Structures are given as structure tokens and as C-alpha cells.
Amino acid sequence: MRKIGLILLLAALIFMAFILSATAQTEKEVKLFLNEEKTHWVKGTGLGQIWIRYTDLNPGSTVVGTAKDQVFDVGLRRVRYQVMGQVTDHVFVYTQFGINSFGSLSARKPGLFLHDVTAEYAVVKYKLSLGAGLHGWNGTVRYSSSSVASILGLDLPYIEESTNDITDQFVRKLGIYAKGKLGELDYRVSVSNPFPIQTALVPVPTLPENVTNIAYYSSSAPAVNYQGYFFWQFHEKESNQIPYMTGTYLGKKNVFNIGVGFSTQDHATEYRETVTSPVIQQASRQFGLDVFYDAPLDQEKGTALTVYAALIDYDFGPNYLRNAGAINPANGTTSQGAFNGPGNNAPLIGTGQVYYAQMGYLMRNDLLGKQSTLQPYAQLIVSDYERVEKPITIYDIGVNWLQAGHRSKLSLDYQSRPILAKGNSEKLVKNESDPRKGMLVMQYQFSF
């Protein structure tokens, strides 16, 4: 099975190479002007990300009841459409819709759903805009609001999306926000209504009767969520027209930022100290510090360096820990399963400290012919969670083949994740017999 999966992945890589080589370089926008001065406009964009993947499954994984060790599969990681417009001198509107994580185990005929619908008014141009709607103006750190079209690595850093589809709709909530630039300072703050966990498509675990000193998300009516992110721009300024932050500019900008942020929600989780004690509700508190550097190294050759690092302190209550995995290729476990659960799940979000870093190097712009080049990268997550005995690591290494920048991009990524053993011990420990699993993914991204 492993050899067959790798052969199929290689064949798919060759096929995608032909697609890439036939892709034209274009930089034009789909934009409609609404006045003669061309100050009022509407434009649309689209994006698709196709995954071809080979996964070493977590111990005890099953696919529709059949035990599996490895899986080869194809999926749609994202399909997105955006329509936005400057409809008056002061009013900007933004919408985004699409699908996420459609795989062979997904319900068929997925419906497009809303990601963003916002309208904002520029009170003082560039300095203060006020808006409302279904929004992604999040706090904590840079990639709590991440652009899906310009990711440096294969996928978004889930580690910075702490409530993804738990109390939000793919990191969006209904609320109000303020944003702007004051000199070199870029800021965003928001006040939002989290979704109750009962409305999640995938059931969110709640506090069991016999579990003590482990927090779970509360099933009570959610309190208001307050968020903010502030960063100082030492070099060129980034756009804040929409909330989503660029992963890599591919040498087109010289950016150096240092940011701080927070997210807080009262009564977000709950736990018991003893089996007979009353339930205690706990606030969720998140604080982050990060630095982003993206700059050309040799403008004539087109080389560039992208570096990002973040420190996040998460507090969801005692021993909170949650697994997650993108387009999970398995949907069940046997009694021999690990704490991770099925498929490609890994312990990603929990109470404790998280250290995240990524780096990419853009090679010369004609490395593989006219306007075609490579961008190798590496990512590392080190998580020191309260519930786990020792810090755990997840790492990715990969390369982007850029035929037309982010408009036509082929990525090959290997990820290694830790496996935690099941058990009743006070602290979770690594699975000694099978401590790590890997996943090899090829992604083709097109955007316009």
C-alpha cells in the first residue's frame, strides 16, 4: 500500500507539472469601475486548492469501519470566491464564500457557505474605519486572520486559529470592529458574538460526568468575545483593506513588523475539581507576540527571504487539549487507538505556551525558465501544554514551485506529527511503540 501510494503521488506530480508549464503569467484583475473617476469599483477573485496526499494514519484508525494503516486520497482543501467594492468614498463592502476540506469521506454535494459579509464606513480615511457583519478581524497574532491565497507553507498555521469551527465559522464571527493606521501603528479591535457549540457541524465534546480537572467548552450561552491585534510597521506598510494577512510577498515588498494581540471570552469553558463538586466556568484568555520579516535579498535576481515567529499563551482552563487534522482521511478508531484519534489528527490547541516559526527562501526568478522558480520552506511548532508531560513538536518541510506567483503554484510538503498514548495518567505521554506519523501532500493552487 505504501509503495502504491507513493507511485500514485509521483504520477500526480508529473501530471501537475504539465498543468503548471501551460499556465500563463497574468496580473490583470477582474474589476468593474462604478464612476468616471474610477474611485468607486467592484472586483471579484477566485481560488482553488487541490490536495493529492499520502498519509500514515494514527494507530487504530478505521475508514468506514475498515482498519487502515495508510491512505492515499485526493481532496479539495479550499474553493473560495470574493466580491468586494468601494461603493462610495466612505463605504467599503466585502464578501467571501466557498467550501473547505472536501474529501472522499465528506458529505456529497457540498453547499457553498458564507465566510465573510461585512460593510464598513471610513470615519477618518486610513485612520479609523468602523464595520460590522460576519468578519475575520481577529486578535492574538498575525495568522489568526490569514490570507489563504499567499500562504508560505502548504496550509494555514492552525495553531493560531484557536477557536476554528468551535465557536466561530472558520475563524469568523458576527460582530463589530474598528481598524486603522496611526502613523506606523496598524490596529484592529473587535467585539463579537461567538456561536454556541451546539450549532457546530462536527459535535464539540462537552464535560463528561466523571472527568475532573480537565476543561471542556461550555454548553451555556456564550459570552461576548473581545479581540485585538496591534503591530508596528518598521518598513513598508501592509494593506488592511481586508482582514487577512499575507504569508509571503515573494520579494515584492520590504516588510518588518512586530505585533501583540489578545482574545478573551468569559465563561468559555467549564470543569469540575472533583466528581461531586459543582461545575466551574472558566474564561478563555489568549495573548500573543510575533514578528514578521519579508524582504527581497537581490532585486535583480528576484531572491527574497520570509521569516515569521510567534509566542502564544493560551488559557482555556485546566488541562484543555484538542486534536485537529485537515480533511481527515479516517473517520473512526479501534480500542487500540491513540489519544490523537483517527487519521491525521494531532494535538494542536490547548492550555499552555506555543512557539511557532516558519522560514522560506525565494530562489532566483528564472531558476526554472521565464518567471518560474522554487521557494523551499520549513515550519516548526513547539507546544508546551499543561496536559502533556513534555513539549511536543510538529514540523513541515516543503517547496513551492511558482509558475505565476501565487496564481499558479505547486507545493510539495512533508509533515511529521507526534502521537500521544491513551491512558489515565495525570499527564499524557508519547506513544512509545509508535511515537510519530507522517503525511506527504502535493497541492496545486490556482487563483485569479
Domain boundaries, the chain: 2-447
Q: Please say whether the dihedral angle defined by the alpha carbons of residues 350, 360, 243 and 24, taken in this order, is positive or negative.
A: negative
pLDDT score of 5 more than 90: no
Give the end-to-end CA distance of the chain in Å, rounded to a whole number: 37
- For the full predicted model, state whether its pTM sits above 0.85: yes
Q: What is the 3-state secondary structure (H, E, C) of 225-256?
A: EEEEEEEEECCCCCCCCCCCECCCCCCCCCEE
What's the pLDDT at 18?
Answer: 46
342-368 pLDDT, tens per residue? 999 999 999 999 999 999 999 999 899
| Domain at 2-447: CATH architecture | Beta Barrel (2.40)
The neighbour count for residue 43, using CB atoms within 10 Å, is 14
- Residue indicated by cell numbers 518588518: 256
What's the confidence (pLDDT) of residue 37? Answer: 94
Could you give the angle at the alpha carbon of 248 between the alpha carbons of 115 and 326, nearest 5°?
45
pLDDT at residue 2, as a whole number: 56
The secondary structure element, H or E, covering residue 13 is helix 2-21
233-259 pLDDT tens trace? 999 999 999 999 999 999 999 999 999
Mean pLDDT of the chain: 93
Q: Is the pLDDT of residue 371 over 80?
A: no
